Amino acid sequence: MTAAKIIINEIKGYHRFLQAMIVLVGLGVLASAVRFIFGLGATTHLNDTYPWGLWISFDVVTAVPLAAGAFTIGVVAHVFHIKKLEPLVRPAIITGFLGYSLVCIGLLLDLGQPQRGWHTLVYWNLHSPMFEVSMCVMAYTTVLTLEFLHPVCERFGWHVPLRLLRNLEVPFAVLAASISSLHQSSLGTFFLIAVDKLHNLWYNPLLPLLFILSAIFTGLSIIIFEATLVHRYLRQPDETELLQTLTKIIPWFLGLYLVVKLYALAYLSHGPRFDRPGLTALFLLEMVGGVVVPMVIFSLKRTRTDSSLQLRAATLVLAGLILNRFNVSMFGMIQKNQEIYFPSVIESLVTLGIIAAHILFFVLISKYFPVFEHHPETVDYAIPDRFHKIEGSEEGDKTVKA
């Protein structure tokens, strides 16, 4: 196949991908409209047994740690002054900004009376972890919006606000870490009230600590996952060398998480633990596949220079985190002889639309704003650099003309 045909096929594939994402977003918007018109009862499979379903389990409880890359890399690069990691900060901030913005949308969808959402700002319930999470999510989304203004100001040449924003990078990083630590751990606090409902494999008083630890290594892993895919599919620079630092940090947090988890399981969980084979299998899959195996892979010396191994280990961490959050918020709540909850079509379409919107907006923002500005050699990914004209090559002349 000639270079011209390769580039044409890749551009067609790129446009088909964007079209597919647009279709999913459109279906998600339509499903959201149906939910607001007919209400939660008519459009979801929620009930008194399952008041929280897919939208809380994935769109909130899972999506929040998946967006934790912004505050983790911000602390590493700005607070600890590891400036060589600066190229990883802005893509992580975009991911966090989109993630938290879509979390807010998911929360509005799951509220029975979304028009009263502003009541949180007026009627404070200082004893509720939901109040703390609500305030922190709003505050952190505001911080991420201000950090997102960096590429916006650069794109439109707004020099005065850009100078101010750059002077506030370190305070923003500290503020982001403080706020995120609060609400990441408070997500675990939610489930401490489910004393007699959440299975003993997951219920323990250290859930807040486990949630914040898992958010840290997940945030670092999502950066590896994102940077690798951006290089492969958006033709941005290879960051494998920069990611070496993260591959050295992640195993320590995975190991700490494993120790705390095993200690809590052995000494803080009361009652039967391995009495239900299905839940035991989910627990082992979560711990072995999502913690132990990636910890071993990240600890290998050759992983630091092998982008494929980095991607595999990061993918296992993300899959383990997703399974853990579903185990805690959904599967671990299932009682014996209880009717099983399955998301409705509307719930599924909304979640798929939110995921597609995240991907679509990230691609568009990366294309039209200076997200990778620390690499001046970066070229437009729509025309990969390997297809640029090669001097003295007749094939290259044909490619450029094409």
pLDDT for 353: 94
pLDDT for 33: 94
pLDDT for 377: 36
Cα angle: 102, vertex 319, 182; to 5 degrees = 55
Per-residue pLDDT tens for 20-65?
A: 999 999 999 999 999 999 988 889 988 877 778 888 889 889 998 9
On the CB side of 26, how many CA atoms lie within 13 Å of its CA? Answer: 6
Domain 18-401 coded CATH 1.20.1630.10: yes
SS3 371: coil
On the CB side of 102, how many CA atoms lie within 13 Å of its CA? Answer: 31
pLDDT for 394: 42
SS3 69: helix
Report the candidate in 221, 217, 312 with the shortest Cα–Cα distance to residue 255: 217
Residue 61 CB: number of other CB atoms within 10 A? 24
How much is the pTM? 0.85
pLDDT for 222: 94
Per-residue pLDDT tens for 191-211?
A: 998 888 899 999 999 999 999
pLDDT along the chain (402 residues), means of 10: 59 78 95 92 84 86 89 81 83 90 86 83 85 86 88 86 83 84 86 88 94 94 92 82 90 96 91 90 96 96 91 96 94 84 92 93 89 52 38 40 38
Q: Contact 354/24 with Cβ under 8 angstroms?
A: no
3-state DSSP percent of the chain in helix, strand and coil, to 5: 75, 0, 25
Q: Where are the domains of the chain?
A: 18-401
